[in-house]
Chain A
């Protein structure tokens, strides 16, 4: 961003404050880098657990008919796969990146509330242990879909539903604490001269994401609490017999749920906005318009929730309102895509792994955006609703969108974190295997969806057999490809070519001015931004 002066003695003076040894270092740590690492490793673990469930789903769907798992268990797999990937993989990965990067990017010594930071991470393993343990209970775990629509989650759910509710409560508390920490850090700990409009876009997108989290995670907590009291304590929020309304559940859920999808994509926009300028060796095109576009996406996200519910029987006026609001989101999103392309225009581009993932993100996320526009068209949505077309859409925006951006971020900042360059050849293998397999996996889902294959069903009509076999092969290949990533990360932590401070020739920003690996304490004296 700007030129920086650091005090060369600052680092040496604090050397004796290095990390404690052993397990206690990780349990008691209040260091933003340690906590960032914990979040990222946790997210990676959850990515593989959720991925294993996806493998069960794809194995069952490899052939028509029921062969591997019971339908009830299949439902639990789709449900817990969704919950784990949303709340266990994507969100903690972004929080981990925020922990590592936000203080380094704004010249802060640490997060503003380090003890709360420790707590917000360490309650997460408990949340997911509770959720995963419920799978082993009599009657099974949650099987009502990650959206837990009433009455599936109230009248018809298994006895373990209370565990699901409590684990979502804990996840929500963790997210809210993380978000409060990010906001306070950004508002109070920016280095002198780091004005809001000088902040890197990753910081900006996280700032807005944190506000979204605080606005909607409590609504989710309310929704699960209502499910809890409806199921166990005789209230009738969603029960028509007692004067409630199951459609109300969908309104409350999607009031949370739609901003939630932007929570999972705005930080991705920030990551791509950091990576593309570096490898195009040009400053980001339209910085201010990026900030305004992100803000307007966040505001619009509160006005579109009912596009998930077109088929519940809304008045035509409401359907049109939500349809047009949804389509309006394409405008700021288009501004972003335009800006990324304009940044690359006539740039001196190179194609290292982070850039490859960022480029794949731009193309494939846009495909996911376009299928989203198709779903936004109310009359067309009646055909697409609850089919594999929807599954294709949200996996394009979440896997090739959010996950690809997290991969890009991991490759981009890994040398800064470990002090070693990663293995470029292995990284390219990981990228190309992922890119090809992910499209084999998700692209044909558009076709089977348009042809009418419903989602969340363990069996299907015979005419979908060939496509489903292909999709499953893509799924297995994509799952295996991710093992390359683990191998690469382990290799990079253990050793490799020494990374320079700047790491990438075109990289700009405060985090590239400190040594690689980043010292345990950085910016104990604030840098001056000119």
Chain B
């Protein structure tokens, strides 16, 4: 009797194991899917080139800047300007202020997110403090640059793009940083 059941039981156990693996496979699949569609508003972690930066003077897009330290992060962190009206293709540079108000040296990492998510694919950063970690000594202040342009191919339905940064402390307890985010981030 057991011999008759064995092949089916083995197949069903393999199916169970495969579906457990599939649950984990959803993690990289989701990252790939988001990279392709911009679904979760993550921007590229690579510096963009200026080749698509051909200004389209007929169109204007409002870009809003939000920055906040994570709730475990004591730094002051804010953009110098909060919104900017830009023509797609025009290169702009703004600064963010970071101030380590604590009495010890700390390292931080800013993680960007764009809303609406699909617009993330069209938000090109040529230079960004979020590409690297920031190390500030006790009480040090720093103006951190962001150079960007909005891709003129941005679909018509988007007239406002919100760029949000959250600043996290990087320490021994969180060895994984957003720099490795789009790659192999989950081990």
Contacts and interface: CB of A to CB of B under 8 A. Distances in A.
A112 B6 CA distance: 10
Contacts of A235: 186-187
A349 B182 CA distance: 63
Interface in B11-42: 12-13, 15-17, 19-20, 22-24, 26-27, 30, 34, 37, 39-42
14 contacts: A112-B5, A113-B5, A184-B5, A214-B19, A219-B19, A222-B23, A226-B24, A235-B187, A236-B186, A242-B181, A244-B186, A255-B26, A315-B117, A315-B118
Contacts of B40: 245, 247-248
A223 B12 contact: no
B4 A219 contact: no
Nearest to A222: B23
A171 to B, nearest CB: 14
Interface in A239-267: 240-245, 247-248, 251-252, 255-256
Nearest to A185: B5
Given A219-B19, A251-B30, A314-B39, A188 B168 contact: no
Given A180-B9, A218-B16, A315-B39, A241 B111 contact: yes
Interface string A228-240: 0000001111001
B145 interface: no
Interface residues of A, number: 40
Nearest to A213: B16
The interface centre, meaning the residue of B17, B26, B37 with most chain A CB atoms within 10 A of its CB, is B26
B173 to A, nearest CB: 7
Interface of B: 1, 4-5, 8-9, 12-13, 15-17, 19-20, 22-24, 26-27, 30, 34, 37, 39-42, 70, 109, 111, 113, 115-118, 166, 168, 173-178, 180-182, 185-187
Contact of B20 (A184, A188, A221, A236): A221
A200 to B, nearest CB: 21
Nearest to A224: B23
Interface of A: 112-113, 176, 179-180, 183-184, 187-188, 214-223, 226, 234-237, 240-245, 247-248, 251-252, 255-256, 313-315, 318
A523 to B, nearest CB: 14
A221 B9 CA distance: 20
Contact of B23 (A183, A223, A314, A318): A223
Contacts, number: 116
A242 B181 CA distance: 7
B108 to A, nearest CB: 11
Contact of A180 (B13, B42, B187): B13
A248 B26 contact: yes
Given A180-B9, A188-B8, A236-B185, A216 B19 contact: yes
A211 to B, nearest CB: 9
Contacts of A112: 1, 5
Contacts of A179: 12
A206 B24 CA distance: 27
Contacts of B181: 242-243
Given A240-B166, A318-B39, 17 more contacts: A183-B12, A184-B5, A188-B8, A214-B19, A234-B173, A236-B174, A236-B186, A237-B186, A241-B70, A241-B111, A242-B176, A243-B176, A247-B40, A248-B27, A255-B23, A313-B117, A315-B118
